[in-house]
Amino acid sequence: MSRSYKIRIPIEVLLSNDRLDKLGSFSMPFDVMQILPADQMQELLKKSLLAAGCSESGAGITVPCKKGETAIIDVENRIIRLRANLPKDFETSVYEESIRSVNAEIEKALAEGEQIVGRMSQSADSLLAAQMAAQLRDLAMEARKVLNAALKETYREAIKTKASQIGNVTNISESSEGGSTRIRIEVAV
């Protein structure tokens, strides 16, 4: 009767760099209501994101995330770019009688800089895809919360600015109920 052993296989010998990049990243668009001209809405959104604890980087506005994860909001192109940690290796079970050939295959792939093809790489791909999808989903939800709060603040400020363009603002009141916010602005024209 043969025994099964757990072994770790470096992920780069199972999947190509292109495939790893696709598994570890995701982009999603978002909309911004055009209460004011686009450049003013972008500037208001940027200020709201920075006030919410985000930081400015060359690629856009970076949302605080777990170590190794990134969520960057590109205000100009209205896209959130997400990147999640990829595991360094893949753990699988190998039967005692095939462990030598599997180790030889791994060593050969590492030495030649190639990927192992076959059942092991297919299994790693499908398991890693499921794991990364869940990780990216959670990251997207966190980034979207920050973005939604910043958009709400952006709209609030844009409405006030728009009202001041119409006439003299005499009174502003806000109320929140459930997931809705009402802003009442009185303008003397």
Q: Are 187 and 167 spatial neighbours (Cβ–Cβ below 8 Å)?
A: yes
5 pLDDT exceeds 90? no
Beta strand spans in the chain (E): 4-10, 25-29, 55-57, 60-63, 70-74, 79-83, 89-95, 168-177, 180-188
Q: What is the mean pLDDT of the chain?
A: 86
- The more confident residue out of 64 and 20 is 64
The contacts of residue 27 (CB under 8 Å, 6+ apart) are: 79, 80, 81, 82
Q: Give per-residue pLDDT as tens, 95-132.
A: 777 778 777 877 877 777 777 777 777 888 888 888 88
Which residues are 93's β-sheet partners?
A: 6
CA dist list (Å): 42 to 33, 37, 48, 131, 163:
10, 9, 10, 34, 18
Give mean pLDDT, residues 24-30: 93
The contacts of residue 157 (CB under 8 Å, 6+ apart) are: 44, 48
Spell out the domain ranges in the chain: 4-147
Q: Radius of gyration over alpha carbons of the chain, in Å?
A: 25
Model pTM score: 0.78
- The more confident residue out of 89 and 133 is 133
Pick the closest to residue 115 from 22, 24, 17, 23 (CA basis).
Answer: 17
The contacts of residue 37 (CB under 8 Å, 6+ apart) are: none
Which token pair is 44? 């208001």
Q: Give per-residue pLDDT as tens, 43-89.
A: 999 999 999 999 998 889 999 988 889 999 999 999 999 999 888 88
Q: How confident is the model at residue 1 (pLDDT cuts 50, 70, 90)?
A: low
Give mean pLDDT, residues 158-164: 88
Which token pair is 162? 């728009």
Report the distance separating Cα 156 and Cα 32, nearest Å: 13
